[in-house]
Chains A and B, each alone.
Chain A
């Protein structure tokens, strides 16, 4: 695996691993069960690594720097590196905004020794997906310039207020970079500005990328195949721990609500998001969200008010991010020894084949493996704790 955190030890320096011994045949001579177990274990391991951290960089400003050089036309990912990347990136963007609703993203592409900003920082995920879809026809020419890309991103990240969490995610297909000057200077200024840079390599490990990630507190990984690529990218969805220099401060936000006056019809108005586009949707409508400061109307949240600059969000948007700050208690793994007849949450009856069951340290209910994963990956609320008044109160205080 490429995600060795310790740079001193290389894979070939570790002991000889007999990987095939981990795989055992089941009674019928099939491997499926064994493979499934390995996958499950990996899932759980990742979950346990999530630390409880109440200080996270929630207002993320992420620049995705995408390599669009000659190297991206290689066909080791199907159909090509670029197309595969764009497909995964599209899902990533959706997931990113789903999990970080008040964050912003920008996209920069590198080709022909230049960097080009194709999307400024913003919060409208539809726009990004559209842009990413449009990239399929980009001409893949020349070499990338990592330095130019980083400098361009830095230029706009620098201007952000101090409470914003600044991040750069580089997707690098090329093994070379063509830089105008010393890239180490760029790296140190990135470090100075507290920009966290992560790199996903599509080919092989490159020293300068490793250095960039290590210096700025990001992660560097090289993909094995497309599903691993997806996994690595998705690791960037969870908000990173707050950087040391990140101050917490209070930001003014608006919580618009629909204007409902009993007994009257709402007036037909045009929303600000579509006011200057001639596309579908730029029609006069009744409903909508009104900025509490200047009464401009928007059809979607979250959005930054165009006329007064206030960030408009709805309460559930903020609530969607709370689970990063208050994750469900992690479960203890234990041997199954008839502690309980069935899984507390999904009512699955425990059988002999369930070797391990899981128990919540707060409410002490027993759960099956699937529920363990479901609760911690998706639900973020322990059903045991949430149905018990005593643990529920404990959790609240």
Chain B
């Protein structure tokens, strides 16, 4: 007779005791190339993202959701929006909660889009939006019921390009995410995003540049719907080798061997006796 005491089995949390928090950042900046060419794509993207968000809520009753819009001048939470939730009655066979998500997102998104003034910045400040999302996740984790495990991740859906001007902010949010074990997923609609790809690699998230925007919803559902613990069981696009070479501060070119200032860590491609950044 075996006296097997499996206290581990009882104390370990089974996947059923876990809930999943998903924060979606949708880039709505009208300066993106794809939106400049065809503004209707935004409607399609919004619909796909809402359907995807609802599919996430459909997975488990405990799953949590937040959606942010990253506009050219501001980033805002469009779900759950500020103030009281809307009072929704069912109009068709859709689950009430899903209707609420759809209505709230559309209503708040409208506010964000119409608030736009004349000057348009073409660069979307995604790093800032991710920073906000991390603060939001940190609050949820702070106020959660003790003993409950929450897997959190951030999905960024964007068609803009990533510029080196946000480099420092990007790195700060990536390392924070890594520390808080928040997974960053990126779905690139247009250009290849090498900086955000580094973020995915650092936080062990998934990076996907979709070949055509018509199939956005299918790509989202196939690749980004499974939560990180399930992903290892499924066959998903393999991680791409990420280029971690540094760009020099003087010419912004990728270099293999460079010179680093011992005080301010600026990177240069040629040796000079003094550092031009800190002196």
Contact = CB atoms under 8 A, between A and B. Distances in A.
A and B directly contacting (CB within 8 A): yes
Given A255-B255, A387-B74, A387-B128, A316 B244 contact: yes
A370 B138 contact: yes
Interface of B: 70, 72-75, 77, 80, 82-83, 121, 123, 125, 127-129, 131-132, 134-136, 138-139, 142, 165-169, 171-176, 179-180, 198, 202, 241, 243-247, 255-265, 267-268, 271-275, 278-279
A388 B243 CA distance: 29
Q: Contact residue range for chain A?
A: 35 or more
A375 interface: yes
A321 interface: yes
Interface string A50-75: 00001111110000000000000000
Interface string A338-382: 000111111110000000000000000000001100110011111
A55 B273 CA distance: 17
Contact of A347 (B82, B202, B271, B279): B82
A281 interface: no
A318 B257 contact: no
A127 interface: no
B237 to A, nearest CB: 16
B254 to A, nearest CB: 8
A345 B121 contact: no
Contacts of B123: 389
Interface string A220-262: 0000000000000000000000100010111111111110100
17 contacts: A58-B262, A59-B262, A246-B263, A248-B278, A252-B258, A254-B257, A255-B246, A257-B256, A287-B241, A323-B172, A345-B131, A371-B138, A374-B135, A378-B176, A380-B176, A384-B128, A389-B121
Contacts of B82: 341-342, 347
Contacts of B173: 379, 381
A320 interface: yes
A319 B138 contact: no
A301 to B, nearest CB: 8
A125 interface: no
Given A58-B264, A293-B257, A379-B173, A347 B136 contact: yes
Given A55-B263, A58-B265, A255-B246, A292 B256 contact: yes
Interface in A284-336: 287, 292-293, 310, 313-316, 318-323, 325-326
Given A163-B263, A164-B262, A386-B166, 8 more contacts: A251-B262, A252-B257, A315-B244, A320-B171, A322-B171, A383-B128, A386-B127, A386-B128
A316 B171 contact: yes
Contact of A255 (B174, B180, B258, B262): B258
A252 B259 contact: yes
Given A58-B262, A58-B265, A379-B173, A315 B131 contact: no
